[in-house]
Structure 1
Amino acid sequence: MRSTRTSAPLRRGRRTVLTATGLVAVLALTATACGGSEEDKASDKPDAGTSQAADSDGGKVRIPSDIADKLKEHGIDADQWKNGGWEDWDKDKWLREAKDFVNPVIEGLWKPERMRSAEEADKTVTTKDASAAQGVSDPEPAPVEAQAEKTPYHENAAPVGKVFFDSPDGPSVCSGTVIKDVNHPGKSNLVWTAGHCVHAGGNGGWYRNLVFVPAYNDLGKSEAELGNANASEIAPYGNWWADWASTSNGWIQGGSETGGDGAAYDYAVLHVKPEQGSKSLEETVGAALDVDFSAPSAAEAGDMGAWGYPAAPPYNGLQMFKCLDAPGRFSLSPGLPTMYRIGCTMTGGSSGGGWFRVLDGKTVLVSNTSIGPTDNTWLAGPQLGRDAEALYQNMSKTYGGQ
């Protein structure tokens, strides 16, 4: 697909901001973290039949037997991995291991300064073929200027956070949202983000050292104010390592650095566990959102809001922003599923951030930021239907209780 205009995920433009007061009011979720019980600690125990992140045990990596065997199959020594072996990005080997997500905990890896060094995940740069989309896409929306979220974030957008990971190009960053686990009410360890924030698509494999940080920089401090910030200021609820990640086959097979045929399937779910602690993510943060898998049409969906941490200029990734708009239809090709599109000036780094709408009086996640143009005037995100729900259900039933 060639086009007269390049587009990149999470960068957008400017338009008149809608007064979606209902959406903003409902999203303002105050964290009310609950105390954990002994029963809660069971979720920290690795199951030998599942893929879990490694635990820290006396300074050594402790990995369930199935993952230890998988690492050995790929010639990976757990201790070497922890001590820097994960930085070996042999391209051929990476491709062969694309089906295997292995993410051992490396305690202390994601320090505040390393998080600040992470660059936006610009893996969904895509070209917009206007002629191919005629009759499928609605007219391009007017830009909507992104608005800074009020602080502290845990009182105004508690489920939102940042997703950090390592790619062959170095530390990278996206955004993500704490979602409810229908099979484990009140104790969710699930995070929604974009597929390109966990997997490189058709030309690569799974990224490494995936961590979710809810309410990152909770008080919205400036770069100067964070010069000597400690870990609790940057990550008030700690670091949550993904012990499993799932994204769509559509993204794995069709996703590319130019978005490709995988853009409409650019979503992912993480199951996470705390680097330290025993309570679930939902209990710790005090909030989580349901996911709307009804895939309403753009005309039926009503107003939507996109939340995230834009990191590419003019933003620096330290503060949370949001855009509110009425969605339109967008497609890269008549043969691909229709996506949602809203006006928004957020840039790279907001990728994976949740899109929310009000359904039956409560805020639900309806999409996530995937792609957008290089002039940062709009964002597009996938419609979440049966395939997305099946991916979510499988993650919940298979790994949710761990």
Structure 2
Amino acid sequence: MRSIRPALAAASLAVALALTATACQSAGDPKADAKPTASASKGGDSGADEAQLPDDLDGIADRLKEHGIDVDKWKNGEWKNWDKDKWLREAKDFANPVIKGLWSEERKKSAKDPQQTISSKAAAGNEGVTDPEPRPVRAEQERKPYWKYAAPVGKIFFDTPEGTAVCSGTVVKDPRNPGKSNLVWTAGHCVHAGQKGGWYRNIVFTPAYNHKGLSARALESAGPQDKAPYGEFWADWISTSNEWIDGTTAASPDAGSYEYDYAVLHVKPERGNKSLEETIGTALPVDFSSPSPKSVDAMGAWGYPQAPPYDGALMHKCVDRPGRLSLTPSSPTMYRIGCTMTAGSSGGGWFRSTGGGKLALVSNTSIGPAGSNGWLAGPQLGDGAKRVFDTMSEKYGSK
């Protein structure tokens, strides 16, 4: 029974994602079957060539100044200073000034995922709470072009003390700003170092990255329209859980609170003034009901795996029936599915069918097993995740 039902669910889930993206795009664009236009690649109206993101959104300069940081020096390279007193940590201190031209293709190419893994012993969990380890499900490439079948999925690039890094993310609906969402869902470890440090820097989102699905070699000589069909979107505010920042549920000092490993980005285009949802033509709702794994036939994870045997160029997906993974007795269980995607897929959305051919984001990729790539786990999104999301939507959604 297990070998048949997930296969059927996988097919229906993949079709649902395609229909969701295409239907939403068609609703606002009579030429939805055509590739993104040059104006779309700039993130706004044709001719809007100047950056529209304010230099001092919500007091970026003031927040940096409080820590003895000059915003002009920051843009000229001071951001590379990761000294403890310069590494902003608290939720209220997030700052991400736009640095034009920073994200060259060379920097993107060198980006690595801040890999999060746990040992097989830790994954064994508590008897009766952790389900048996799932069999590996081989990741499949998404159909091309991505903008037509999975436009909400993209790559997140950022800087860490160890160098450039990359994760995956998903454009999600903002109920307080219908049709004009600027919200992106990802993992907490893709934006903040947790108990080991502070906020990462120079965080940008590229929806439908490499939408033609070019090989890594072909991508090197491809034009900007192929690499970033909708342009770049800089995070101007981010919210993640206090549990992730403080590591309050971590099983060890070197681990993170993976059960709360989620984050929401509010973004603005580097060029133009259209919202993210208007630019790509679609977004997906978030499901905060934390459905029991036993009640869900299948969940699908989407992302851009970077670590071998993958190279980060192509979007992949896995679909499987979820099980439970418990890391500590006092924390919520996580979802776990079989999947061969590797580092780089972190933060990518997990989806489930909510009926009528519709999908909702229900989790995100957080961790995998150390030394192998047979499964992925993600947090259940309950009341705490909803509070993080609602705060972002209410305070920053309309900006």
Shift of residue 384, structure 1, vs aligned partner: 0.4
- For the residue of structure 2 that corresponds to 1:341, the secondary structure is strand
Structure 1 CA distance, aligned partners of 2:264 and 2:345? Answer: 16
Q: TM-score, normalised by structure 1?
A: 0.86
Structure 1 CA distance, aligned partners of 2:196 and 2:74? Answer: 23
**Partner residue of 1:192?**
185
Q: TM-score, normalised by structure 2?
A: 0.87
The answer as to 2:308 corresponding to 1:318 is no
The answer as to 2:108 corresponding to 1:118 is no
Structure 2 CA distance, aligned partners of 1:64 and 1:275? Answer: 13
Assess if the C-alpha contact under 8 Å between 2:152 and 2:208 holds in 1: yes
Tell me: CA distance 1:388–1:88, structure 2 relative to 1, closer, same or farther (3 Å): same
Shift of residue 71, structure 1, vs aligned partner: 1.6
Code of the aligned partner of 1:148: Q
Assess if the C-alpha contact under 8 Å between 1:120 and 1:172 holds in 2: yes
Tell me: CA distance 1:95–1:284, structure 2 relative to 1, closer, same or farther (3 Å): closer
Structure 1 CA distance, aligned partners of 2:124 and 2:283? Answer: 40
Tell me: CA distance 1:61–1:368, structure 2 relative to 1, closer, same or farther (3 Å): closer
Unaligned ranges ≥5, structure 2: 31-43, 45-49
CA RMSD of aligned residues (A): 2.3
Shift of residue 98, structure 1, vs aligned partner: 6.5
Code of the aligned partner of 2:127: Q
Structure 2 CA distance, aligned partners of 1:258 and 1:153? Answer: 39
Structure 2 CA distance, aligned partners of 1:394 and 1:91? Answer: 28
Aligned with 2:8 (options 4, 19, 30):
19
Assess if the C-alpha contact under 8 Å between 1:246 and 1:391 holds in 2: yes
Shift of residue 252, structure 1, vs aligned partner: 0.7
**Partner residue of 2:339?**
344
Code of the aligned partner of 2:378: G
**Stretch deviating more after TM superposition (64-73 or 113-122):** 64-73
Shift of residue 97, structure 1, vs aligned partner: 5.7
Code of the aligned partner of 1:372: G
Tell me: CA distance 1:378–1:258, structure 2 relative to 1, closer, same or farther (3 Å): farther
Tell me: CA distance 1:56–1:62, structure 2 relative to 1, closer, same or farther (3 Å): farther
Shift of residue 227, structure 1, vs aligned partner: 2.1
**Partner residue of 1:134?**
127
**Partner residue of 1:7?**
none
Shift of residue 126, structure 1, vs aligned partner: 2.5
The residue correspondences of 1:88-99 to structure 2 (distance < 5 A) are 88-94=81-87, 99=92
Tell me: CA distance 1:259–1:327, structure 2 relative to 1, closer, same or farther (3 Å): farther
Aligned with 2:378 (options 363, 377, 381):
381
Structure 2 CA distance, aligned partners of 1:347 and 1:380? Answer: 12
Tell me: CA distance 1:34–1:189, structure 2 relative to 1, closer, same or farther (3 Å): farther
Assess if the C-alpha contact under 8 Å between 1:295 and 1:366 holds in 2: yes
Structure 2 CA distance, aligned partners of 1:92 and 1:322? Answer: 40
Assess if the C-alpha contact under 8 Å between 2:195 and 2:256 holds in 1: no
Unaligned ranges ≥5, structure 1: 1-14, 36-43, 45-54
Structure 1 CA distance, aligned partners of 2:58 and 2:338? Answer: 48
The answer as to 2:384 corresponding to 1:400 is no
Per-residue CA distance 1:61-83 (angstroms, 9 max, x = gap): 83147222222111111111111
Structure 2 CA distance, aligned partners of 1:129 and 1:368? Answer: 20
Structure 2 CA distance, aligned partners of 1:120 and 1:64? Answer: 28
Structure 2 CA distance, aligned partners of 1:118 and 1:27? Answer: 28
Tell me: CA distance 1:301–1:286, structure 2 relative to 1, closer, same or farther (3 Å): same
Code of the aligned partner of 1:22: S
Structure 2 CA distance, aligned partners of 1:249 and 1:152? Answer: 38
Code of the aligned partner of 1:25: V
Structure 1 CA distance, aligned partners of 2:58 and 2:322? Answer: 47
Assess if the C-alpha contact under 8 Å between 2:69 and 2:86 holds in 1: no
The answer as to 2:364 corresponding to 1:372 is no
**Partner residue of 1:292?**
287
**Stretch deviating more after TM superposition (271-280 or 226-235):** 226-235
Tell me: CA distance 1:350–1:270, structure 2 relative to 1, closer, same or farther (3 Å): same
Tell me: CA distance 1:65–1:399, structure 2 relative to 1, closer, same or farther (3 Å): closer
Tell me: CA distance 1:173–1:259, structure 2 relative to 1, closer, same or farther (3 Å): farther
Tell me: CA distance 1:203–1:259, structure 2 relative to 1, closer, same or farther (3 Å): closer
Code of the aligned partner of 1:324: V
- For the residue of structure 2 that corresponds to 1:119, the secondary structure is coil
**Partner residue of 1:248?**
241
The residue correspondences of 1:1-400 to structure 2 (distance < 5 A) are 18-20=7-9, 21-28=11-18, 29-30=21-22, 31-32=25-26, 62-64=55-57, 66-94=59-87, 99-122=92-115, 124-127=116-119, 128-129=121-122, 132-254=125-247, 260=255, 262-361=257-356, 362-374=358-370, 375-400=372-397
Tell me: CA distance 1:145–1:199, structure 2 relative to 1, closer, same or farther (3 Å): same
Assess if the C-alpha contact under 8 Å between 2:55 and 2:98 holds in 1: no
Shift of residue 228, structure 1, vs aligned partner: 1.7
Tell me: CA distance 1:329–1:106, structure 2 relative to 1, closer, same or farther (3 Å): same
Shift of residue 24, structure 1, vs aligned partner: 1.0
- For the residue of structure 2 that corresponds to 1:120, the secondary structure is coil
Structure 2 CA distance, aligned partners of 1:239 and 1:107? Answer: 11
Structure 1 CA distance, aligned partners of 2:81 and 2:312? Answer: 27
Assess if the C-alpha contact under 8 Å between 1:343 and 1:378 holds in 2: yes
**Stretch deviating more after TM superposition (163-172 or 79-88):** 79-88
Structure 1 CA distance, aligned partners of 2:89 and 2:397? Answer: 28
